[in-house]
């Protein structure tokens, strides 16, 4: 039972997974249950974006149905909702910087060692990095890849996939999810190379910007590549 509890190690992976289910997470305003029912893992993720109209009322309605612990993911700009959450007994536990990169600022032209087709090694690496305790099934992963605008990118060292991520194209923006680097290849430039390759690929597809949600550990890495912080998501939990 315990392995199904969200914690700071796996919450972001969940959020990635939740966001990847685009049809259930339109504009970050829908209640999101990545599983099929209220008892699935995670039990509750709720996101808000620009419109905070009736947020409190909607939150109260939702909270009547969920089991705790429950998590709320919210843009830190919504000060009044932050206070409401506090008064409802929610506690902020994480901050995820929203990061943005304008592609036109980049002149990289790499396409080396890059893979853009499904390879079971990519799923294995993503599972190892983000979903160790509850791996994504191949069928589900292929379903994601079949969604409009979804692509997978991987980097090879010889015949081994050492870095990978999923991307979703929406209009002229590309969202990056599930960034994964093999443990033995971390800190050696493979993640950077992967992003440079993706940027290079974007230039041929009329994509103008990249966005992603970082966390406190990875924000420095993305800044070095050229991403800047455009805002923050706060993660609240109630036991």
- Least distance (Å) between residue 83 CB and another protein: 8
> Which one, 41 or 106, has the nearer CB to another protein?
41
Peptide bond into 91 cis (omega under 30): no
Please give the Cα distance from 182 to 175 (Å, whole number). 21
89/189 with CB nearer another protein: 89
- Exposed / middle / buried, residue 54 (Cβ in 10 Å: 0-12, 13-18, 19+): exposed
How far apart are CB 107 and another protein at their closest, in Å? 36
> Which residues contact another protein by CB under 8 A?
5-9, 11, 69, 76, 82-83, 86, 91-95, 234-235, 237-239
To another protein, the closest distance from the beta carbon of 78 in angstroms equals: 11
3-state secondary structure of 12: helix
Residue 82 or 162: which CB sits closer to another protein? 82
Shortest spacing between CB 156 and another protein, in angstroms: 32
Q: Comparing C-alpha atoms, which of 235, 233, 231 is closest to residue 100?
A: 231
Considering only CA atoms, which of 17, 12, 7, 6 is closest in space to residue 137? 17
Cβ proximity to another protein, 97 vs 154, nearer residue: 97
């Amino acid at each position: 039972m315990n392995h199904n509890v969200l914690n700071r190690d796996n919450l972001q992976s969940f959020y990635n997974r939740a966001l990847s289910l685009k049809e259930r997470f339109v504009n970050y305003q829908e209640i999101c249950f990545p599983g099929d029912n209220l008892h699935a893992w995670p039990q509750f993720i709720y996101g808000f974006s620009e419109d905070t109209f009736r947020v409190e009322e909607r939150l109260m309605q939702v909270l009547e149905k969920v089991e705790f612990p429950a998590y709320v993911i919210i843009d830190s700009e919504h000060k009044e909702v932050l206070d409401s959450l506090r008064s409802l007994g929610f506690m902020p536990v994480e901050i995820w910087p929203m990061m943005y990169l304008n592609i036109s600022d980049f002149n990289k032209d790499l396409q080396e060692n890059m893979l853009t087709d499904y390879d079971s090694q990519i799923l294995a690496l993503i599972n190892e990095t983000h979903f160790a305790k509850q791996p994504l099934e191949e069928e589900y992963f292929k379903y994601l890849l079949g969604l409009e605008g979804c692509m997978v990118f991987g980097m090879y060292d010889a015949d081994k996939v050492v870095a990978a991520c999923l991307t979703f194209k929406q209009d002229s923006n590309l969202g990056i999810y599930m960034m994964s680097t093999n443990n033995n290849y971390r800190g050696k430039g493979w993640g950077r190379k992967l992003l440079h390759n993706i940027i290079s690929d974007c230039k041929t597809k009329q994509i103008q910007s990249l966005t992603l949600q970082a966390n406190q550990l990875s924000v420095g890495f993305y800044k070095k590549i050229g991403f800047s912080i455009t805002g923050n998501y706060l993660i609240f939990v109630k036991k």
